[in-house]
Chains A and B, each alone.
Chain A
Amino acid sequence: SAVISQKPSRDICQRGTSLTIQCQVDSQVTMMFWYRQQPGQSLTLIATANQGSEATYESGFVIDKFPISRPNLTFSTLTVSNMSPEDSSIYLCSVATLTGRNEQFFGPGTRLTVL
């Protein structure tokens, strides 16, 4: 299985600011994803991070609010822009490989609190 790290592990931010979350994998992977887990809720897929092209966003999520980069096969960033208290969540990245048969491995998550 892949080893995934995320930075920062947690942060407290002010309303109206932006935060960029980094996701690093220890091996080249095909697919990278970003999820949001709101307090007491399950996980919701935000987008698929595509290498070298624009991310594919799920319904209800837009690029202006959650810009995503994926410059190579082992690294991705998610930015939460113009934050409000409703953005307080855990943000997780996950990865999958072509041989993994849809099996995804998750990073430890970034706990974001917006005041």
Chain B
Amino acid sequence: AQSVTQPDIHITVSEGASLELRCNYSYGATPYLFWYVQSPGQGLQLLLKYFSGDTLVQGIKGFEAEFKRSQSSFNLRKPSVHWSDAAEYFCAVAPSNDYKLSFGAGTTVTVRA
């Protein structure tokens, strides 16, 4: 069975600083990989996705993620965070032949002025 681990429950970062959120997955083959963001009181918004090809993917809001097969990781990064980036971030995986998403526990990002 596939599983997703987000090791960091909570991260605090200063506005303008860089941000990296970790995600590790366990799956027999390379799954499809996603990052979602959930702002307070909101639903989930897709930030970016990886299916195949270039291992560095660009998403919305200035986010990018890098797929590293050898480490079974799909870490999310942003060079300079804005106060509006304060939210809950979820990493998710799905098999290439199934729609079922498995979510990590989430990482809460707090941005301090």
Contact = CB atoms under 8 A, between A and B. Distances in A.
**Secondary structure type dominating chain A contacts:** strand
Contacts of B96: 102
Interface in A85-99: 92, 94, 96
Interface in A3-50: 4, 31, 33, 41-45, 48
A106 interface: yes
Interface residues on A, range: 20 to 34
B63 interface: no
A92 B34 contact: no
B105 A103 contact: no
Contacts of A104: 46, 99, 101
A108 B99 contact: no
Interface in B54-113: 90, 94, 96, 98-101, 103-106
B103 A108 contact: no
Given A33-B99, A42-B106, A45-B100, A101 B46 contact: no
B104 A42 contact: yes
Interface residues on B, range: 20 to 34
Contacts of B45: 106
B21 to A, nearest CB: 14
A57 interface: no
Contacts of A33: 99
Contacts of A94: 44, 101
A42 B51 contact: no
A1 B94 CA distance: 19
Closest 9 CB pairs of A and B: A106-B44, A108-B43, A102-B94, A42-B103, A106-B43, A43-B103, A109-B43, A102-B32, A42-B105
21 contacts: A31-B99, A41-B105, A42-B103, A42-B104, A42-B105, A42-B106, A43-B90, A43-B101, A43-B103, A45-B100, A48-B99, A96-B99, A102-B94, A103-B34, A103-B46, A103-B49, A106-B43, A106-B44, A107-B43, A108-B42, A109-B43
